[in-house]
A and B are shown apart, each in its own frame.
Chain A
Amino acid sequence: GENVEQHPSTLSVQEGDSAVIKCTYSDSASNYFPWYKQELGKRPQLIIDIRSNVGEKKDQRIAVTLNKTAKHFSLHITETQPEDSAVYFCAASKNTGFQKLVFGTGTRLLVSP
């Protein structure tokens, strides 16, 4: 089955810096890659996703890139702010009708003022 590895497990940056979180997946048939943000004590929420027919997607300060050949995808956050501090999860699935996500182990991002 699918396996998703996520690095780093923790990431500390200064406000205004960029942050990059990387994930690799094992199943070449996977074609949907969402990212979730979980603030302390709150539910995970979808922040951005990408499908395998697209190499990059941006939404204001966040972007996701996908390299299908290498089977890895990354989340990029620019101009980080303290409210970006959270745990971020990547996930992957094969969208063959029914979708079942496999999650990475999460990255705790701390943005210091």
Chain B
Amino acid sequence: DVKVTQSSRYLVKRTGEKVFLECVQDMDHENMFWYRQDPGLGLRLIYFSYDVKMKEKGDIPEGYSVSREKKERFSLILESASTNQTSMYLCASSFWTGDYGYTFGSGTRLTVV
């Protein structure tokens, strides 16, 4: 009963490519988030959205953008991929108030070569 789905488990892209990471949730959550996970650094927030077409910068938004055209879908875009964006990317969603916490996707491991 997968509730937050990330389109790719592994991706390999070349430096300078435009990269799209897709996330879809089926729980009617208002909030959606994109995190990157690096060893020793934990989970760092890139962008989040609390409504369709709304987006807010997180702690490390540089080099990224997002799109939320529908409530269930939140896309992370790397405008011009660089090697320092090699990481695990995790999508999460939650209700507006955060009741019941976040539900995470399985993650996308992106390698930029």
Listed in ascending order, the chain A residues whose CB lies under 8 Å from chain B are: 6, 9, 32, 34, 36, 42-46, 49, 89, 93, 95, 97-106
A45 contact set on B, CB distance < 8 A: 104
Tell me, yes or no, whether B34 is within 8 Å of chain A by CB: no
Known: A44-B104, A99-B97. 14 other contacts (CB 8 A): A9-B40, A34-B101, A34-B102, A36-B104, A44-B102, A46-B100, A89-B42, A89-B43, A97-B96, A97-B97, A98-B97, A100-B45, A105-B40, A106-B43
Verify B107–A43 contact, CB threshold 8 A: yes
Interface status of B48 (Cβ within 8 A of chain A):
yes
B96 touches A98 (CB 8 A): yes
CB distance from A111 to the nearest CB of B (A): 20
Q: In the bound complex, how far is the Cα of B86 from the Cα of A6, in angstroms?
A: 24
- Chain A nearest CB, measured from B9 CB (Å): 10
**Is there contact, CB below 8 Å, between B42 and A105?**
yes
Q: Please, which residue of chain B has its CB at the minimum distance from the CB of A96?
A: B97
**Can you list 21 A-B pairs, Cβ within 8 angstroms, ordered by A?**
A6-B42, A32-B98, A34-B101, A36-B101, A42-B106, A43-B90, A43-B105, A44-B90, A44-B102, A46-B100, A46-B102, A93-B98, A95-B97, A98-B96, A99-B31, A99-B96, A99-B98, A101-B102, A103-B44, A106-B42, A106-B43
B94 at the interface (CB under 8 A from A): yes
Chain A residues whose C-beta falls within 8 Å of the C-beta of B43 in the assembled complex: 44, 89, 103, 106
Contact of B48 among A46, A100, A106 (CB under 8 A): A100
- CA of A1 to CA of B48, assembled, Å: 16
Most chain B CB atoms below 10 A, which of A36, A46, A99: A99
Which residues 40-62 of B have a CB within 8 angstroms of A? 40-45, 48, 50
Cα distance A42–B96 when bound, in Å?
Answer: 25
Contacts of B31 in A (CB 8 A): 98-99
- Provide the bound-state CA to CA distance between A9 and B33, in Å: 25
